[in-house]
A and B are shown apart, each in its own frame.
Chain A
Amino acid sequence: NMSPTRLCVPGDKLCSVEDCIMGTGVYLRHGYIYSSLAGYVLRKNEGEELPVISVVRETEVQLLPDVGAIVTCKVGWKPGRRGPLTDLFRGTISFVQVEMHRSFRPGDIVLAKVISLGDVQSNYLLTTAENELGVVVAHSDAAQMVPISWCEMQCPQTHTKEFRKVARVQPEYLEA
């Protein structure tokens, strides 16, 4: 996962030409590398001796999820389709092993993994077929529901149970 580091503006001195190789969005002057765009500084090690330094604007492609990336998404409202999700970008859960209405409801927050980037027509293809993937947050009509097993969640106020494919979240990520 790439988290962009610091903001920079045109004319910011980033580093010396001896520390990094120039990527995009930068220029060279008197032995130093300066930013030529307003955006985020990105340092990537690409197998060469020195890392490549570039400046990207927030809408750049580098920040799109790749195959194998785990994304957090919200289930959208499109009945009759294969449970499309919206991330920042739209995706579709492939539900070969899973029954839609017993796994997700619209409005759920789900951890999914990207299995295909899709092409021009289709969206990202996502899967929740692992233990750590699935619903993380779900709301009933009253309140936020609590997981009681890998396939059920319960509302603490009305005590109604609903079927969900629950993600097994690592203990350190759970709030105290």
Chain B
Amino acid sequence: MAGLELLSDQGYRLDGRKATELRKVQARMGVFAQADGSAYLEQGNTKALAVVYGPHEIRGSRSRALHDRAVINCQYSMATFSTAERKRRPHGDRKSTEMSLHLKQTFEAAVLTELYPRSQIDIYVKILQSDGGNYSVCVNAATLAVIDAGIPMRDYVCACTVGFVDETSLADLCYAEESGGVSSLALALLPRGGQIALVQMDARLHQDHLDTLIEAAMTACKGVSKVLDQVVRQHLQEASTLQE
């Protein structure tokens, strides 16, 4: 079958990247003045917008409040124009609900929720353009938004989606690779301490390859964390020079 080779003999992928190469990450913090924190992040062609509100009093049912820490409320949605075919149901479908739950679990591991008992932190992420690695891009965008909101965290949360094909781990999958029969795994990492916040995989992978794949994912996440670190530091510099 000619044409779409996920990994060529010379080691190049469909978009010309090498196996361990990440896509270009560009991000901006503080894109909305009204929200407590916001960020826009592009990873290759996948674009996500994250907005954070809080910590504030629990809205709705008081029974959901936790007496000793804050509740993190995440909502993941995709714009109707984000995919090749117009999405009919941007949120409320099963995939979105699952994603929202994963994001919640991820950030509960990183945010110091014990500082805000009986309150709520809202994280909304919207995919504006979907080209693979949706969960990872959301996590990265949301990390920047949470930092922008001044909500204390143990560390950055960096995520990357990796896949296994031809005995090689491919870092940061794009949509063509994800749908091309690669066993993909998404991992969210706290890079400084090396702690894993979440691992998600619903493909089939031989257990011998699992360690290699997780290693590749952790390395990729650390690469992402370097970029996010630069974005945060630059944002701090800009904010301080504006004040002078």
A positions within 8 Å CB-CB of B? 7, 9-13, 25, 27, 29, 34, 36-39, 57-58, 88
Interface size, chain B (Cβ < 8 Å): 21
B positions within 8 Å CB-CB of A? 112, 147, 150, 152-156, 190-193, 229, 232-233, 235-237, 239-240, 243
Knowing A39-B236, A57-B150, A58-B236, say if A9 contacts B156 (CB, 8 Å).
yes
Cβ contacts A to B, 21 pairs, < 8 Å: A7-B233, A9-B147, A9-B156, A10-B152, A10-B153, A10-B154, A10-B155, A11-B153, A11-B154, A11-B155, A27-B112, A27-B152, A36-B153, A36-B154, A37-B152, A38-B150, A38-B235, A38-B236, A39-B236, A58-B236, A88-B243
Which B residue's beta carbon lies closest to that of A11? Answer: B155
B233-A9 in contact (CB<8A): yes
Please count the residue pairs between chain A and chain B whose beta carbons lie under 8 angstroms apart in the complex.
Answer: 53
In whole angstroms, what is the CA distance A27 to B239 when docked? 24
- Contact residues in B for A38 (Cβ distance below 8 Å): 147, 150, 232, 235-236
Which B residue's beta carbon lies closest to that of A37? Answer: B152
CB distance from A60 to the nearest CB of B (A): 9
8 tightest A-B CB contacts, nearest first: A11-B155, A36-B152, A11-B192, A10-B153, A38-B147, A38-B232, A9-B232, A57-B150
A36-B239 in contact (CB<8A): no
- Contact residues in B for A7 (Cβ distance below 8 Å): 233, 236-237
A25-B152 in contact (CB<8A): yes
In whole angstroms, what is the CA distance A39 to B236 when docked? 7
In whole angstroms, what is the CA distance A34 to B243 when docked? 26
A27-B150 in contact (CB<8A): no
In whole angstroms, what is the CA distance A12 to B147 when docked? 13
In whole angstroms, what is the CA distance A131 to B155 when docked? 50
In whole angstroms, what is the CA distance A156 to B154 when docked? 58
A11-B191 in contact (CB<8A): yes
- Contact residues in B for A9 (Cβ distance below 8 Å): 147, 156, 229, 232-233
In whole angstroms, what is the CA distance A173 to B43 when docked? 49
CB distance from B153 to the nearest CB of A (A): 4
- Contact residues in A for B229 (Cβ distance below 8 Å): 9
Knowing A38-B147, A58-B239, say if A10 contacts B156 (CB, 8 Å).
yes
- Contact residues in A for B147 (Cβ distance below 8 Å): 9-10, 37-38
- Contact residues in B for A27 (Cβ distance below 8 Å): 112, 152, 154
CB distance from B149 to the nearest CB of A (A): 10
B152-A34 in contact (CB<8A): no
Knowing A10-B155, A27-B154, A58-B239, say if A36 contacts B191 (CB, 8 Å).
no
In whole angstroms, what is the CA distance A10 to B112 when docked? 11
In whole angstroms, what is the CA distance A11 to B229 when docked? 11
Which B residue's beta carbon lies closest to that of A24? Answer: B152
- Contact residues in B for A25 (Cβ distance below 8 Å): 152
In whole angstroms, what is the CA distance A13 to B190 when docked? 14
In whole angstroms, what is the CA distance A9 to B152 when docked? 10
In whole angstroms, what is the CA distance A39 to B239 when docked? 10
In whole angstroms, what is the CA distance A36 to B149 when docked? 12
Which A residue's beta carbon lies closest to that of B233? Answer: A7
Which A residue's beta carbon lies closest to that of B157? Answer: A10
Which B residue's beta carbon lies closest to that of A9? Answer: B232
Which B residue's beta carbon lies closest to that of A57? Answer: B150
- Contact residues in A for B237 (Cβ distance below 8 Å): 7
In whole angstroms, what is the CA distance A88 to B243 when docked? 7
In whole angstroms, what is the CA distance A27 to B193 when docked? 14
In whole angstroms, what is the CA distance A37 to B233 when docked? 12
